[in-house]
Structure 1
């Protein structure tokens, strides 16, 4: 371990360009995870869709399995145990009893055990300029709960990609004690160029938490282009490290004392208030900031 203090650690992000071949994707992911660990990372995060990037329903369902039979998950659990690291798998596609798929994050302990699972809450259903169209809900069932987990250095809040556009989720995670927030992603190139950087910085500033976001980048076999630019952002909104578009690792030393200092300077998490919403004299049910 590079740093000695109890609330400091080295984080590593793995940027990928996953395709349709799971074995090839896993080979690249493993090589980069090993490199990050060799550089002193004790927490390593991979992006959304680590094992496969596939839009066609039949191709996706024929390539994946249920959690109990997932070879990529078993392989990553073994790797975390071998390297003695906390391995945060941004997401794997898992078959569900409903016939659809879960877009599921896994936090794996240095003993190779699953410490937390998180199913992506918000589905990316959108038509973009230029003819791009995505219907994530066609293949995936959304999750129904926010998830946090305790690392040796602090509390981690889990999210995935499109969740980034829903600030109430991040306020809820921070209010529940998260001083690190993960946003593994496969942001489209078009929306990423416009919004990725500013949204990550905004979530860090709003919550006073570190934001760690491993991303997919480049042109994929299925024809989709993702933005890349994996990023580590401080609680003050400073970009500590940023990748380009190609597969690579990103490293930064995280000092969670900075999260406590930032929240002491700007204690907005304590200042949320209940308020009414009025439209033309008619009042809607009371709301509370962050809910």
Structure 2
């Protein structure tokens, strides 16, 4: 049996980058003390400002800046793989950033970057509307990379609603899918567990969903319920509310056997033409 421990961090990030990084560091340390080899941070872990435009002021060039330095140093100091939620990186457009998820190896080297493809332009009701595309430039490429405990694919929050993206990750060999998120409370109560478990089952993949959970300075409430799902759709561990860490062991041999015995991912037939 080949078992590795992975952790998802749940936060309620605010508008002070230094304070958010300090809190992230504390929770990463807790995950490491619980035996985690890989830690996944939530979307916007380093900054959730008073409005969407506020993130333009703290954007960083790729490879430079306080937030990226924090991720690199923490991964190296703790000797872990660190999936850095999302941070605002310069896009070349002064009015928009890329919502980038960066992955660091235990040497502190950034080995993968995924820029959020699907942007949250949605009216969720109760006078709550989002237009992420006003301040964020969408990514165009999927990201999958190798680790000692499996091939990891990256997705972010709203991406959960688009199964085609996850199929693309599967086609590139993804065995574990990490989904940093900041799901709204309204949509989280309706669909969060349903979507995370479905994406895991249909791809026979482990899914690690690290979510924001709490109240933020912009008046927004995020759902929380960070969880780790196995390829059969079982929730291995979760944290419904509050700040904290979720850990679970993933068994890559069990996953390989399951994919062999129940080979749904090899039985796909795409018949899109109408008669």
**TM-score clears 0.5:** yes
Q: Deviations over 1:182-223 (max 9, x none)?
A: 111000000000100011110111000000011100111111
Q: Secondary structure at the match of 1:105?
A: strand
Q: Summarize the alignment of residues 245-260 of structure 1 with structure 2, pairs less than 5 Å apart.
A: 245-260=241-256
TM-score, with structure 1 as normaliser: 0.91
Structure 1 or 2, whichever has the larger Rg, is 1
Q: Are the structure 2 counterparts of residues 68 and 180 from structure 1 closer, same or farther at C-alpha, using a change threshold of 3 Å?
A: closer
RMSD (Å) for aligned C-alpha atoms: 1.3
Confirm whether residue 207 of structure 1 aligns to residue 203 of structure 2: yes
The alpha-carbon deviation at position 58 of structure 1 amounts to 4.3
Q: Are 2:177 and 1:181 aligned?
A: yes
The structure, 1 or 2, with the larger RCO (C-alpha pairs under 8 Å, 6+ apart) is: 2
TM-score (normalizing by structure 2) = 0.96
- Alignment of 1:49 with 2:39, yes or no, is no
- Deviation for aligned residue 1:55: 5.8
**Offset, 1:96:** 1.8
Determine whether 1:66 maps to 2:67.
no
Deviates more, 1:89-98 or 1:126-135: 89-98
Gaps of 5+ in 1: 282-291
Output one character per residue of 1:91-139: Cα deviation in whole Å (capped at 9) or x when no partner: 1111221121010001101000001000001001001221100001011
For residues 67 and 77 of structure 1, the distance between their equivalents in structure 2, rounded to whole angstroms, comes to 13
Cα contact 1:20–1:222 (8 A) shared by 2? no
Give the structure 1 partner of residue 8 of structure 2.
13
SS of alignment partner, residue 86 of structure 2 = strand
Q: Does 1:150 align with 2:146?
A: yes
Task: Verify the 8 A CA contact 1:208 1:236 in the aligned structure 2.
Answer: yes
1:135 aligns to 2:120 (yes or no): no
Equivalent residue number for residue 98 of structure 1: 93
Q: 1:175 offset after TM fit, Å?
A: 2.4
Matched, 1:225 2:199: no
Where do 5+ consecutive residues of structure 2 fail to align?
none
Cα distance in 1 for residues equivalent to 2:256 and 2:50: 41
More displaced, 61-70 or 143-152? Answer: 61-70
| 2:105 paired residue number | 109
Measure, in 1, the Cα distance between the counterparts of 2:206 and 2:149.
12
- 2:254, 2:172 → 1: CA distance? 18
Query: What's 2:30 paired with?
Result: 35
Q: How far apart are the structure 2 equivalents of 1:232 and 1:162? A: 17
Between the two proteins, the alignment pairs up a number of residues equal to: 274
C-alpha distance in 2 between matches for 1:262 and 1:164? 23
Equivalent residue for 2:158?
162
Residue 289 of structure 1 is matched in structure 2 by none
